[in-house]
Every structure is written in structure tokens, then in C-alpha cells.
Amino acid sequence: SRYLAWLGVNCRVFNVGEYRRKLVGAQLDHSFFDPSNEVATDQRLHCAVLALQDMFKWFEAMHNGVAIYDATNSTRSRRKMIVDECQRHNVEVMFCESWCEDNDLVDMNIREVKRTSPDYKGVQDIKRVMDDFRRRIDHYSEVYEPVGGDGTRPLAKGQYPLPPVKPTLEEYDERQVSYLRKINVGSKMVINRITSYLESRIVYFLMNIHIATRSVFFSRHGESMYNLDQRLGGDPCLSPNGRKYAEALPSLVSKLLGNEPLTIWTSTLKRTSETAAGLPYKKMQWKALDELDAGLCDGLTYEDVEEQYPEEYAMRDENKFEFRYRGGESYRDVVLRLEPVIMELERQQNIMIISHQAVLRCIYAYFLDIGPEELPYLKIPLHTVMKLTWTAYGCDVQMYKIDIDA
């Protein structure tokens, strides 16, 4: 959802687990997911139907976008229910399934993700969490039918309390449905009937993400000669204080990383490569990381822009995200050119990006799920390293300021 929203697509998540926690409670052990537990099965189905109904209400209000119906959906009968109801509401369906048979990966996922899940809030015993969730997986496995199967496995029992529509379950051929199966965290991908632009973007994203623990470090270049005069753009060198920051940066990065590997990404502009010069790591330049192009205003101060281009200056204040400098770029343009960078960040492990304020605002907004209204006003201070670390349910941010004036 974060990726699609960052690209400007209306998106909302409907997590059936949240409905369950609200209606039934969070502190439920594995027996609640036992397919032979008829009371719990009815309760889980009720939650699934409520989430589906809310999803259709959202579509009616928005008229377009992508809804993520986040649920196990592990049987053909449940998926047929979803397809039938979506067809009735003129909503296209794409199933995304993550399947893993590598026990080490499953255990790692439980340790890193499920122990911080709301279902286990306050539970300190990690062994208890792992044992309970393994048994929950066993219950799912009892009725699991792979998406895209031909129905040769025994069908899950039970009927859903929605108006039945043809075709019948026996006639429901899932090979005609759009789907993606990600196997063993991406060691193999199976895609079927991906026909639309949005479906292809979702596949592209899911092919690139991984679950390894990692951090991304951000830093603006050291203070530049243009910063001293508050000029836009250009390709100036570092100021004396900017060079001091570049000299102090390797010590801070070494302290934060220890002996872990790191790759440095910079823009193609001098002030970023000068800032990175003393860092003893592999370096790569990205044209996509260059500062927002100020067009005809490049090299001007904001006072110059107000005097020479008063209409543009006023338009910028009205909608800073969409405003495009004459012959230059808007923040939206920068977001679009940064998509390859974002995808590569999702694939990599420890990366440090040394770039520019507008560019880092866009990348920071992606990882922190910040909307276009706030994005152009995010504070990305000079002479500061920002560390973003992924967690199961968000992203932790730490700031490390080097005490050099800017």
C-alpha cells in the first residue's frame, strides 16, 4: 500500500485480522484457527465478510484505486467467494500468495514478525509465540489449497452466507484468475494472467522486496557554496563547513555500522561525491538522485524568483508538491524518477544515500508512508545522518547530528 500510495494511486488495506481482533479479541491461541472449531470458523468468516463489505463501500466512494484485502484466503471456496462478490461489484481481482516450505525462513519470520504482532502483545516468551504460531500454520495447512490449482485437492468444507452465483465451485477454474505466487521469499515467482498496468507494478514490487533485516542511511551533502546564499540547484562545491562535515562523516558511519558491509549511493553532482570522498566503501552514482531541477530558476535565490517570476512564486506556495519550475521538475516528477532507486533499495541490504533535500524528502516519505501534502515540508537537516531500520509493523528512525554549523 505504501508503494502504490507513493506513486499516487488511491490505496487502502482491509486487514481481516484487525476485524477479528476488534470483534473477537486479540489474545486467541492456535485453537481459534482449527478448521474443526466450528464456532471460531463462523466468527472468522463473519470478520472476512465484514471486511469485504467495507472494501466495496470504499470503492463506491473512491471510484478507483487498489484495495488490499489482507487475509489468509487459503481455500478455493474462500477465494471463489471473493471473486464472485468482486465480479458482482465490478471490481477486478488479483490474488497474491506467499508460500514457504523452508522451515528456517518460517522460523525467522515468526521471530522477527509475529512476536511483535498485536496477537502476541505483552507475551515475552518467544518459545511460546513460536510454538503457538507453528500450530496455527498447521491448522491452515489442513485445508490449504494453492492459488491457481485445478481443484484436485479436497475442497474446504462450509458455505459462505452470501448470495450464491454461478459458476459452482466445481466449475470455478482458478487458472483463469490473475495471481502471483511468491515461493520461499522470492526464490521462485509464478505469475498468471497479469494483464493491466497496475497488476504489473504490483508484480514488479513484490519481485523486489525481501525480509532480511537491514538499515538505510540518509544524509544530505555537506553545506555547499549555494547553501550559503540560499540559491537553488546548481553544481557548486562544498563550503568550508561542508568539507568539515565530509571529514567527520567516516568516523560516525564506522561507529554506527561496525564491521558490517555498506554501499554508498550519491547523485552525479559534485557536492555529494565530495561529501562521500572519505568513506571507505563501494560507491555508486545515480543520475536519479540528482536534486530537483529548478529549470529557469536554477542558481537563483528565492528572492530572485519572487522578483523575476512572481506568478510562479505564488503557484509554488499554493501546491508545492505539484508545482513544476518552468523548464524544470515538480516533486511529483522526482517521485516518478526515483522509482528504480526505491526498487533497488527494497532489494539491497545496508545502503547509505548521500543526496539532496528534495530527493531525500521523497525517499523518506516513501518509507515512512507520508502523503504528498506533507512531503515537500519534511525537515532534512544538513550535517545529519538519518538511520531507517525496518521493523515488522513500521520503520524506526534515528537521527545523528554532527556538531558543525550549517
Q: Is 63 marked active-site?
A: no
CA distances from 361 to 11, 333, 335, 370 (A): 21, 13, 10, 10
Q: Which of 226, 215, 159, 177 is nearest to 390 (CA)?
A: 215
Cis peptide bond N-terminal to 167, omega within 30: yes
Taking the CA atoms of residue 42, residue 47, residue 51 and residue 54 in that order, the dihedral angle to the nearest 10 degrees is 90
The helix/strand/coil state of 230 is coil
Question: To which H or E segment does residue 5 belong?
Answer: helix 2-6
- One-letter amino acid of 241: N
The helix/strand/coil state of 363 is helix
136 by Cβ neighbours in 10 Å (0-12 / 13-18 / 19+) ranks as buried
DSSP letters of 32-87? GG-TT-HHHHHHHHHHHHHHHHHHHHHHHHHSSSEEEEES---SHHHHHHHHHHHH
Q: Is 304 marked active-site?
A: no
Q: Is 54 marked active-site?
A: no
Selecting among 18, 70, 235, 304, the annotated active-site residue is 70
Selecting among 139, 221, 356, 383, the annotated active-site residue is 221
Max distance between CA atoms of the chain, in angstroms, equals 75
CA distances from 311 to 179, 296, 315, 354 (A): 49, 14, 6, 33
CA distances from 229 to 223, 225, 236, 271 (A): 11, 7, 11, 15
Taking the CA atoms of residue 307, residue 312, residue 315 and residue 321 in that order, the dihedral angle to the nearest 10 degrees is -120
Supply the residues annotated as catalytic: 70, 221, 291
